[in-house]
């Protein structure tokens, strides 16, 4: 059976369409979440000039010399600022790599909602760290263009959780108490090697190691360049690239836990193609809508068969994210339990 990522137009929710239109969208999202875990969404409403501005911001920052970019690094436990190439290993977030090499060659810049964004709520200053923005003399247009996209991506993520509520037969506002101070992070990625660097075609080159996303839902903008690969139910890797004007959406581990694996977080990786002995450059920006750090996640009762126990013990979003980041950024293999087992099973 051929692999494909379903395309769903969500404009009925963006523009408050008729109930039957929204019901059709919710049914399509439920089908995609049960079978693939990745979705192409159209009708999301993000203006083209905002996504173009995001691409320009990525180009502006990542064109800086490495030493300048490194001045915006933060400690491994702080999910903000610049991450140089080969300082992370995403597969360790799931405990599926035997060696603790930090071998993912992508570089990234992270921004997110901060403690100062929630003045009336006692939030963890580590999870909600303040952003580290490039100085005006280095990247003058970066902050404004990134903030514009961040706001739009957050709106799309909240629209998706509204659709999720309908698709799961929940109250329309079910997710709101779990996301009113959500751990939202935008990770901007650049997959490229320094000019003049050649690579060996030995199969060991990793753009971003195999992993599942951590939270509720991920909204991904990406170039139409090959590299993103998704693992299917038969254990095969499949190339995925966004259609014109589309965003890619995938589920995170929190949603898999919430739905007792009715919906799954799908294993994916990035292996950009080698062209003329070097990497074909690829850009992406993943908006992670992860939920409140202190939100306790346990299986939605209607997803647990009668007489059976939930597949996962309750856990807070903060505890879950901390274990994941300790693997990917600090090099400690995460003992992810059932998540690791199902990933290894999928890989055969």
Q: Which residue has the tokens 């998540």?
A: 339
CATH number for the domain spanning 136: value is 2.60.120.330
Q: What angle do CA 129, 135, 141 make, to 5 degrees?
A: 100
Domain membership of residue 2 (yes or no) is no
Residue 299, CB half-sphere, CA atoms under 13 Å: how many?
A: 17
Q: What is the dihedral of CA 329, 335, 337, 342, to 10 degrees?
A: 50
Residues 296-313, mean pLDDT to the nearest whole number: 94
The string of pLDDT tens digits covering residues 320-339 is 888 777 644 444 444 455 65
Could you give the CA distance from residue 117 to residue 261 in angstroms, rounded to a whole number?
A: 33
Q: Which residue has the tokens 């933060």?
A: 74
Residues 264-275, mean pLDDT to the nearest whole number: 78
**Which long-range CB contacts under 8 A does 24-32 form with residues at least 24 apart?**
25/163, 26/163, 26/166, 26/167, 27/167, 29/160, 29/163, 29/164, 29/167, 30/167, 30/168, 31/6, 32/5, 32/6, 32/8
Could you give the CA distance from residue 112 to residue 288 in angstroms, rounded to a whole number?
A: 9
Domain membership of residue 160 (yes or no) is yes
Q: Is 70 helix (H, G, I), strand (E, B) or coil?
A: helix
> Looking at the 3D structure of the chain, how many domains does it have?
1
Average pLDDT across the chain, whole number: 85
Domain membership of residue 167 (yes or no) is yes
Domain membership of residue 334 (yes or no) is yes
Minimum mean pLDDT range among 59-63, 97-101, 160-164, 229-233:
97-101
Token pair belonging to 102: 């930090």
Does the pLDDT value for residue 100 go beyond 50? no
Minimum mean pLDDT range among 113-117, 129-133, 336-340:
336-340
The string of pLDDT tens digits covering residues 38-78 is 999 999 999 999 999 999 999 999 999 999 999 999 887 78
Minimum mean pLDDT range among 126-135, 143-152, 228-237, 281-290:
228-237
Q: Which residue has the tokens 């990234």?
A: 108
Q: What angle do CA 208, 210, 214 make, to 5 degrees?
A: 95
141-180 b/e (C-beta count within 10 Å ≥ 16 → b)? ebbebbbbbbebbbebbbbbbbbbbbbbeeeeebbeebbe
The string of pLDDT tens digits covering residues 189-248 is 998 765 555 555 444 555 567 778 889 999 999 998 888 888 887 778 888 889 999 999
In contact, 188 and 108? CB cutoff 8 Å: yes
Token pair belonging to 261: 């694996």
Q: How confident is the model at residue 79 (pLDDT cuts 50, 70, 90)?
A: confident
Domain membership of residue 146 (yes or no) is yes
The DSSP bridge partners found for residue 187 are: 110, 286
% of the chain beyond a pLDDT of 90? 60
Could you give the CA distance from residue 134 to residue 216 in angstroms, rounded to a whole number?
A: 29
What domain range includes position 197?
7-347
> Taking each helix axis from N to C terminus, what angle separates 19-35 and 142-167, rounded to the nearest 10 degrees?
100
Domain membership of residue 289 (yes or no) is yes
CA 14 to chain centre: 21
% of the chain beyond a pLDDT of 70? 81
The string of pLDDT tens digits covering residues 6-23 is 999 999 999 988 999 999
**pLDDT (0 to 100) of residue 198:** 52
Domain membership of residue 327 (yes or no) is yes
């Amino acid at each position: 059976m051929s692999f494909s990522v379903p395309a769903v137009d969500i404009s009925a929710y963006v523009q408050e369409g008729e109930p039957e239109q929204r019901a059709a969208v919710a049914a399509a999202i439920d089908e995609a979440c049960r079978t693939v875990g990745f979705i192409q969404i159209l009708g999301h409403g993000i203006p083209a000039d905002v996504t173009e501005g995001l691409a320009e911001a990525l180009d502006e920052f990542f064109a800086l010399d490495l030493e300048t970019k490194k001045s915006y690094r933060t400690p491994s436990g702080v999910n903000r600022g610049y991450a140089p190439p080969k300082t992370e290993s995403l597969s360790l977030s799931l405990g599926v790599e035997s060696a603790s090499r930090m071998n993912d060659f992508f570089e990234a810049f992270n921004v997110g909602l901060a403690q100062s964004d929630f003045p009336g709520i006692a939030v963890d200053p580590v999870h909600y760290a303040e952003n580290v923005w490039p100085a005006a003399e280095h990247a003058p247009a970066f902050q404004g263009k990134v903030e514009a996209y961040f706001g739009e991506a957050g709106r799309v993520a909240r629209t998706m959780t509204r659709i999720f509520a309908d698709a799961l037969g929940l109250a329309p506002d079910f997710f709101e108490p779990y996301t009113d101070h959500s751990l939202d992070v935008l990770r901007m990625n650049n997959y490229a090697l320094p000019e003049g660097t050649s690579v060996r075609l030995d199969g060991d080159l990793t753009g971003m190691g195999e992993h599942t996303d951590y939270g509720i839902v991920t909204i991904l903008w990406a170039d139409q360049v090959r590299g993103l690969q998704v693992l299917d139910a038969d254990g095969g890797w499949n190339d995925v690239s966004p259609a014109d004007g589309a965003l890619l959406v995938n589920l995170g581990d929190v949603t898999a836990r919430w739905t007792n694996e009715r919906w799954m977080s799908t294993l994916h990786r990035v292996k950009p193609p080698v062209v003329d002995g070097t990497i074909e450059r690829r850009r992406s920006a993943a908006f992670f809508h992860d939920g409140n750090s202190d939100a306790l996640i346990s299986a939605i009762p209607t997803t647990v068969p009668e007489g059976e126990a939930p597949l996962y013990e309750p856990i807070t979003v903060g505890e879950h994210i901390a274990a994941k980041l300790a693997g990917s950024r600090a090099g400690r293999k995460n003992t992810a339990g059932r998540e690791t087992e199902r990933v290894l099973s999928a890989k055969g």
